[in-house]
Structure 1
Amino acid sequence: MRTPTRKTPFKLAYGSEAVIPTEVQMANHRVMKYQDEDNEEQLCLNLDLIDEVRMDAEQRIARYKSLMTRQYDAMVKPRHFNIGDLILKRVTLVTRNLAHGKLGPN
């Protein structure tokens, strides 16, 4: 189950939850309550409602992203630079002179 959507990717793709082979052999609620005649009806109902499930997941993802954005932006310290301020400029490998630096000649 994914955190932002609270749904499994299988449910979002196919409309129903997957049952792995080890779950079939174990006695759990899903296996014990399985009825073959109701299964087809429930699968059709799940396929009819898949668009609503996907829209709900999409809304959850949007809320999750906005929450993460607000949390990240709360930690950022705003910096204002004026013309003439000295700043530390990053030197890339392309513009760097190999003769300078720690291993350059004295």
Structure 2
Amino acid sequence: MTTPRAPTQETPFNLVYGSEAVLPMEIGQSSIRVESYPDDNDKSREMELDLVEEKRDRAMVRMEAYRGRVMKSYNKGVRIRDFQIGDLVMKKINLAGDVGKLDAQWERPFKITQKVSSGAFYLKDAQGHSLKRPWNIFHFEKYYA
């Protein structure tokens, strides 16, 4: 029959692995916990510390490979749309107020007159009136005349 252990020694780590957890930074310092370990344990801990950088590097390689696979699967459905000055586009209608779900979803045609940034454009309608503000590329579809 075994004698019961003191409550301070029964940590979850101790119950699983049969020894007390020691932080890597505690190995170099002298303490009762560190000095109570056998000598071969000190050597194995030092060897583990030598391999920590290698384990981190392998984990980083696996993480980058996983990140690449996730990015590839996420970007599968991305459509690259690039509009130039002079292109004709349809602009999405703001569905607010009395617009029903069976009404038209797009206004057309608009001509791109100026590119503001990578995804914003100024538009001009068919009558030649310029719209007051720039519109994002998200609100456009190519208009085929």
TM-score, with structure 1 as normaliser? 0.50
Task: Flag the structure with higher strand content.
Answer: 2
Larger radius of gyration: 2
Task: Flag the structure with higher helix content.
Answer: 1
